[in-house]
Every structure is written in structure tokens, then in C-alpha cells.
Amino acid sequence: VAAPTYVIELTPPGRAAVAVVLVAGTNALPLVAKCFAPLSGQPISNMPLRRIAVGRWGQLNGEEVVVCRRSDHEIEIHCHGGVAAVRAVMNRLIERGGQQISWQQWLRQSSADPLACAARFAMADAPTTRTAAVLLDQFHGALTTRLRAALEAAATNDWEAAQNTIERILQFRDVGLHLTKPWRVVLTGAPNVGKSSLLNSMAGFQRAVVSPLPGTTRDVVTLNTAIDGWPVQLADTAGIRAGKDELESAGVALAQTALTDAELVVAVHDATMGFHSILRQGNRKAGADRAMQQKRVIHVLNKIDLLASAGQAGDYPLGVILTSALTGEGIAQLLASIGRVLVPVAPAPGAAVPFTPDQVASLDLARTAINQRDAAAVRTVLMSVIA
Ligand SMILES: Nc1nc2c(ncn2[C@@H]2O[C@H](COP(=O)(O)OP(=O)(O)OP(=O)(O)O)[C@@H](O)[C@H]2O)c(=O)[nH]1
Ligand SMILES: [Mg+2]
């Protein structure tokens, strides 16, 4: 049986200007030659590597495409990006013996390094250049190198070095697990304090309905954004008070769920109420709300534009942020503060960062094995990540 010739759509599905289809396998060249008519009339087998050829796909009046030999067994076809154009190019290859596989399957079979492969999958889901850069470092071996160092240390009974290496990697577990999955930040507080207005200010557009009526927000309104290059999902919620009506109570219940799931809570207060009464109220509530006690919370005093002077807010603890959703004052500080709380220490370029739950779980097991001075277990666990 001849080795299969794979046909892989490299560009994401959907409409775009240009799409790229890869043909890979020892018979890639003859397969493409059957489908492609170069304008030059020169057979593509004569074409040097990495040179491009323009021509028609199929018949003389077929789709115009650009073909490039990337290596002896890999040829790229660059065609129009419309869904039908890509389909037509691929169908012709498949009819003539090509076997379609997904880019994920292709990467899995063609990469010798599973960790690098996982990094490439994750990169496709990285929403910002900053997160993609961290993943690119892992693709280039940042994590593998450090894991090998830990293995080496454990093998020579240098337990302290092994432990330090693992700890240094694990300090970035939260950052790593949020490279492709946004941090969840939830705005909460009493009705009418300006939660929706703050969400809109942070977004820079009117995402949530604002009104002078307390109890305006009922659903959880989310918004994906980036703070300092870290992906963040901001959620605005119903103001929390004993339910007025059924609908508002339902909103409050949704808000409670969002709070439970959040990695960070932004507790919004009305500055005109004075911080001490707010704190008293907050303490009473915190007792009732166990979930909140485990959370990282940033306190915000909003509507400071209504105060004659900042001093009028009274003495407030360090770290409380004063904002006005109306004038935009304090919004930049609030965003910066959220960034600092979520990622207090950003990984330096080239740092080893674990980026899947499986990797983090294995590193936790490795830490236990190191504490137990069990070199064989360290080896098994770390090799499961590397190879
Ligand atoms: N002066 C002033 N008014 C504000 C500020 N922020 C919000 N408001 C006003 O306060 C009222 C309530 O604002 P919302 O953003 O709807 O408040 P909310 O906390 O989302 O209210 P609920 O959804 O009902 O819980 C609106 O009339 C806003 O225009 C602010 O910083 N300064
Ligand atoms: Mg609201």
C-alpha cells in the first residue's frame, strides 16, 4: 500500500482573502502535478524549493492559484479564501487520492515533540500577542529545558535544585492556565452604585445598559478584553439586595454564581455614602458570603465626581480605588490594579510556563515525588509531560 498523501487546510475555516492548503507525503508532488497547470508550462517537478509558481487549478479556466514547494514532501497551494474556493481545491486533491486530515491531526503526526505540539495548539487559541509570545517560548523549548534540568537534578539526588526548578515553573501556573482562557473578573455591589457604567468605561463603549433606576442589570453581561496583554472576561452583574421581584431575584442568583466562579471580584461602592458605612455594610455581608472570603477583591469607590473633594470620601484603606465612570477618572488605575492582582509577577521572556491543566497536575505530582525523594516517580511524571 502506498503511503498516504495528506491534504490539510492550514488557514482557519471561514471567509478570508487567501487560504492555504498543504499537501504532504512522499507522493505530494505527483498528486499536485495532476491538478495544477502552471502558466509557465514548466512541470512543477523542475521547480526549486521555496519558489512559487502561478497557474490554474484543474482546467484551463480553473481557479488561479499559487503553488510553492516547501520541502521535498510538502507543497502549499495558496488560493482564494472563500469557503467554496478552498473546497474546490481540496476536493480535486481528494478525488485523485489525497486524504484529508485536520491541521491538529497533521501536527500530532508530524511533530516529534508533544510539548511543542501542545504549544502550537494553544497558540491557535491565544487571544493576545503577549499570551502568544509566552506560548511561543514554550514551543521553542523553555518548559522542556527546565523540566529536563529538574530530571537531571533528581537523577543526581540534588533535591534542592530539583525542587527549586519545579517551584519556579509552578509560580506561573495561574498565568499559564489563563493564556488561552480569560481570567474572570466580576463587578459586584449594591444596586445603582455604577457597576454597569464602570464596565462601559473600562470597555470604551456602551456594552451594558445604564439607568438611574436601581435594579437595572438583571443578566450577567460579559465582555472580553485584555488588560496588560492578559485576556480578561469582565462581567457586570445585578446589584445585590434582597429580591424586589422574581426577575431581580433571578438576576441576583446569577450574580452569586458569577461571583463563585470569579478569579477576582471588583466590589463597587458609592463614594457619596462614605467609606466607613460601606465597610460596616461590607463586613456584615462578608460574614454571610463565604465564597467572597476566599476571593481576591479590589474595592472601588465610584462617583467621586459627586464629592466636593477626595477627602470627603473619608479615610479609606490603601488599595481602595477612587473612580468616576462619568469623567473617566481612576479608570486607568483600576485597570492597572486588576492587571497587577491577576498577574503580580509576569514571566520574563524565555521563562518556563506550564500551560495545560495536565502539565500543572503533573508538576504537582513531581513536587510530591521530589519531597519524597523518589527519583523514579519524578522521572515517570516529568517524562509524561516531555515525551
Ligand atoms: N455622577 C456619577 N454618576 C454615575 C457614575 N457612575 C454611574 N452613575 C450613574 O448612576 C446611575 C446608576 O448607574 P449604573 O451603572 O446603571 O449602576 P449599576 O450599579 O449598574 O446599577 P444596577 O444595574 O441597578 O445594579 C446612573 O444614572 C449612572 O449614570 C459616576 O461615576 N458619577
Ligand atoms: Mg447595572
pLDDT in tens, 60-92: 678 899 999 999 999 999 999 988 889 999 999
Per-residue confidence at 293, pLDDT binned at 50, 70, 90? low
Distance 215 CA to ligand 2 centre (A): 7
pLDDT attached to residue 217: 87
Mean pLDDT score, 108-137: 95
Report the mean per-residue pLDDT for the chain.
Answer: 90
Q: Which atom of ligand 1 is nearest to the CA of 191?
A: 25
pLDDT attached to residue 358: 96
Least confident residue range of 150-159, 247-256, 373-382: 247-256
Least confident residue range of 35-39, 205-209, 331-335, 357-361: 205-209
What's the farthest any 2 CA atoms get from each other in the chain?
Answer: 84
Distance 212 CA to ligand 1 centre (A): 6
Percentage of residues in the chain with pLDDT exceeding 70? 91
Q: Write down the pTM of the prediction.
A: 0.86
Instruction: Name which residue leads in pLDDT, 191 or 317.
Output: 191
Per-residue confidence at 288, pLDDT binned at 50, 70, 90? very low
Distance 223 CA to ligand 1 centre (A): 18
Ligand 1 pocket: which of 195, 206, 209, 210 to mutate (most atoms within 8 A of CB):
210
Instruction: Name which residue leads in pLDDT, 46 or 166.
Output: 166
Per-residue confidence at 289, pLDDT binned at 50, 70, 90? low
